[in-house]
């Protein structure tokens, strides 16, 4: 008999951060606020995790690590100018990404339009030869004699 596969056990997820304003009020911050540690590192507030030891403010530091703010110095809220600068930079990055998407979209539309024009040009047939009939009038305004009508002397 072939060996049976064992079901993989899923790792327990870390508890989610508490982000309510009343939970963050003792720390004097809000979710997404920029804070500075006592060592001078800056980061963004993620929320509060409650453990047996108490509540801890969790921050995503500038190097990308999620960790609790140090208990000794805590985390000081950055100035309003820094908060505003971060928001402006985030919006500028989002606008650059959106502009790139629009440019790609417009290029794709132009490519499709060009392909459709080529396909339409290929489908167009050459103009048919004119049907046999009387020739257009000559320069003098007199029509050329029609070959199907016999000439008679009058």
**Could you read off the pLDDT of 99-134 as tens digits, one per residue?**
999 999 999 999 999 999 998 888 876 566 666 666
pLDDT tens digits for 56-70? Answer: 888 898 888 888 887
The model's pTM = 0.52
Sheet architecture: strand order including 34-37: 66-68, 54-61, 42-51, 34-37, 75-77
Predicted confidence band at 88 (pLDDT cuts at 50, 70, 90)?
very high
Class of 21-78 in CATH? mainly beta
Domain ranges of the chain: 21-78, 79-122
Q: Are strands 75-77 and 34-37 parallel, antiparallel or unpaired?
A: antiparallel
**What span, in angstroms and rounded, lies between the C-alpha atoms of 19 and 23?**
7
Q: What is the maximum span of the chain, computed from C-alpha positions, in angstroms?
A: 128
Q: Where are the alpha helices (DSSP H) in the chain?
A: 21-24, 80-123
């Amino acid at each position: 008999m072939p060996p049976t596969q064992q079901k993989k056990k899923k790792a327990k997820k870390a508890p989610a951060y508490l982000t309510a304003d009343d939970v963050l009020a003792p720390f004097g911050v809000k979710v997404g606020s920029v804070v500075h540690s006592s060592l001078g590192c800056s980061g963004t507030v993620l929320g509060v995790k409650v453990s047996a030891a108490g509540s801890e403010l969790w921050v995503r530091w500038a190097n990308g690590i999620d960790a609790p703010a140090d208990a000794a110095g805590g985390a000081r809220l950055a100035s309003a100018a820094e908060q505003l600068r971060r928001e402006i930079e985030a919006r500028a990055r989002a606008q650059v990404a959106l502009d790139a998407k629009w440019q790609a979209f417009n290029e794709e539309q132009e490519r499709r339009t060009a392909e459709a024009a080529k396909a339409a040009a290929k489908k167009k047939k050459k103009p048919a030869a004119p049907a046999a009939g009387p020739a257009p009038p000559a320069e003098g305004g007199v029509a050329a004699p029609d070959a199907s009508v016999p000439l008679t002397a009058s």
